[in-house]
Amino acid sequence: MAKQKGIIKLKGTIGDITFYKSKDGYLAREKGGVEASRIANDPAFQRTRENGEEFGRAGNAGKVLRNSMRGLLQHASDRLMVSRLTAKFIEVVKADATNPRGQRNVIDGEAMLLEGFEFNINGKLGNTLHVPFTASIDRATGTLKVDLPSFVPINMIAAPGGTTHFKVVSAAAAVDFEGGSFEADSNESGVMAWDEAPTAVINLANAVTAASTHPLFLSLGVEFYQDVNGTKYPLKNGAYNALALVKVDA
């Protein structure tokens, strides 16, 4: 590829040259590649088709999971989160030891590999919340909860500069990856001062249908605020809010 120079920047295709904008600036490259019809039918591209099918399943699964936690992700995700989550789902699909290549899927894979996934690299839960919390999933009752003991915020939460307040949030989801649907529930603590006063015990319980047969996911996060004349504003538009999958039951 080549970088575009000059005052006028182009986007689109002229002849065999494609002009486009990326994070590295305005670039140009020669049009090329194998025709789609050949990839779809030529035996030589069997592996390519198999990889494409599994990549598609991973991408769709990631989308369904993101939608189930959309409310929290609007306040806690980085710009590469989608691609990172898709890559993790590809690992899940590849862990399917039941089906042949091209037919491997999330249901027969290892969804447990998603446990610990951080949705915001700029504010990892593991680097933010130092309270020894307990996360649990009771499939029989459909209860997914996180319990935190009393703690001193300024000692146990690594907050970004400008923080005056915070809250702890959680979300639960029962995800039907094959049907592309989900059931979700969320909960949160009140907004608390980030200071030296010990908090009360925090218990966040989320509910989904009892005895669900779908994979269950529980996430935990911390959102930061700044008090300005009595109004709590999301700190830096949530750029450093933390959110991670803390428990998975597949």
> pTM (2 decimals)?
0.82
Give tens-digit pLDDT for 173-190.
999 999 999 999 999 999
Please give the full DSSP string across 113-162, using - where no structure is assigned.
Answer: GGTT-BS-GGG-HHHHB-S--EEEEETTTTEEEEEE----HHHHB-PPTT
pLDDT score at 32: 59
Token output for 196? 């030296």
pLDDT score at 26: 72
In angstroms, the CA 77 to CA 241 distance is 8
Per-residue CA distances from 6 to 3, 10, 23, 24 (Å): 10, 10, 18, 16
Domain ranges of the chain: 1-32, 36-249
Count of CB atoms within 10 A of residue 198's CB?
A: 13
**Who contacts 177 (Cβ-Cβ below 8 Å, separation ≥6)?**
60, 61, 64, 105, 106, 107, 214, 215
pLDDT score at 241: 97
Q: Quick one: how far is CA 250 from the chain centroid?
A: 17
pLDDT score at 2: 54
Instruction: Tell me if 128 sits within 8 A of 158, measured CB to CB.
Output: yes
Please list the ranges in the chain whose pLDDT falls under 50. none
